[in-house]
Amino acid sequence: MKTVSYEALQAEQAWMIVSDQLQQRNNVLAKGISHMERNPTELPMASRLMILRYHLKMSLRQLTHEARQQARTPEDTNRLHQQWLHVHQLFFLLRQIDAELNRASHENNTLRTWLDSLEGRVYRSALVHLN
């Protein structure tokens, strides 16, 4: 029987929170793209959001692949460290996505108005849970 440490549970909880936040950003980007595509003058911003969403998905795919490769190693000594490293990489990606989305919304009134109409919970900070 394998015991689970409190530290491992904390790392797992942090991973679930940041993963949830990234999924929410993916959903916001998808809806934002659809919203911007309704107006032909907003197609450049829709394209920008598509690129951002592509970056999110490709980065997640790469980080997940790397984490799976690390998990295959039998030694447990570095496993907790690797879990936290993965969580912090995901959180860095989340901050990148938020920064780009924020920059885009400052440059585009339609996007800013639409984002302001969303529920604020989508942008609750995961930072509190990761520290």
CB 75 within 8 A of CB 3: no
Tens place of pLDDT for every residue, the chain, 131 residues?
567 788 889 989 999 999 999 999 999 999 999 999 999 999 999 999 999 999 999 999 999 888 887 766 656 668 888 889 999 999 999 999 999 999 999 999 999 999 998 866 555 444 444 44
Integer Cα distance of 39 and 109 in angstroms: 13
CB atoms within 10 A of CB 70: 15
Scanning the structure block, which residue is given the tokens 């907790």?
80
Integer Cα distance of 45 and 33 in angstroms: 8
Q: What is the pLDDT of residue 4?
A: 77
Q: What is the pTM of this model?
A: 0.83
Q: What is the pLDDT of residue 77?
A: 61
As a three-state string, the secondary structure of 22-69 is: HHHHHHHHHHHHHHHHCCHHHHHHHHHHHHHHHHHHHHHHHHHHHHHH
CA angle 8/13/18 to nearest 5° reads: 125
Scanning the structure block, which residue is given the tokens 């920059």?
103
